[in-house]
Amino acid sequence: MQEKVAKERSTIQRRSSVNTQKKSLTRKRSSASISSKRDSAPTSSLLQTIYKWDNRATNYLAICSKTDGKFSRFRFVMKFLELSCHGAPWIIANIAGILISHDLERQEILLNFFLALVLDLMIVGSVKALVRRDRPAHNEDDLIATISIDKKYSFPSGHTTRAALIAAFTTSNIRLQNPILGIVWSWAVVVSSSRVILGRHYVTDIICGFGIGIIENLVAKWFWIPKDTCMLLLKPIHEDLHL
């Protein structure tokens, strides 16, 4: 009889211990959940604030987005800036320079610049395909010579990454006087700003795009192809084309 009572007491104690552990675990999970919600709340609030600011700023600055708007007469200026940083003319001119030039130092700069431009196209295309952010609703569908993914998606701005890359690459590798470098950087900033004014992009597309362009120049410096290697790569091409 005493043994049965002892066993029952032992069983009751075990059940009580298990229940206590379960309650403790439940409380820990509940407190962890509340803590995670508290931690994520500021982050979520910050993202919402940035999102709202981005939309308001973009809508406010897109003064040349419509062909019949108040500032539509300045739209051709924005379109000119758009063409001045289009990828196709820069790449074509760069290839022509590589083929025509016989100066080794110039060939080195042009070949590395060409590779930097290709890197820019690859990075922008990849990020746009991953992020898939649509262009602003007020954007006019009149982009010239663009592929579908670049025409549809907004983040980051390809013109901005390219403008920043060109300015940074020029500063790093070409000996120019400060006033000329100032003009180059001013052009890059104006082109970048025009993307929002024309209604092509959000403000954050421009800010992030400019940063990406600077980083692309650093990558180009890191993987720089030296003069001797450039000569080995380009000599057969010049010989085949009798240049």
**Identified catalytic residue from 86, 102, 138, 201:** 201
Catalytic site includes residue 201: yes
CB atoms within 10 A of CB 114: 16
CB atoms within 10 A of CB 7: 10
Catalytic site includes residue 86: no
Residue recorded with tokens 């602003």? 136
Tokens read off for 152: 């549809």
Tokens read off for 9: 């007491």
Radius of gyration over every alpha carbon of the chain, rounded to an integer in angstroms: 29
**Identified catalytic residue from 102, 138, 159, 238:** 159
Q: Where are the beta strands (DSSP E) in the chain?
A: none
CB atoms within 10 A of CB 158: 28
Nearest to 171 by CA among 85, 109, 84, 92: 109
Which residues are the active-site residues?
159, 201
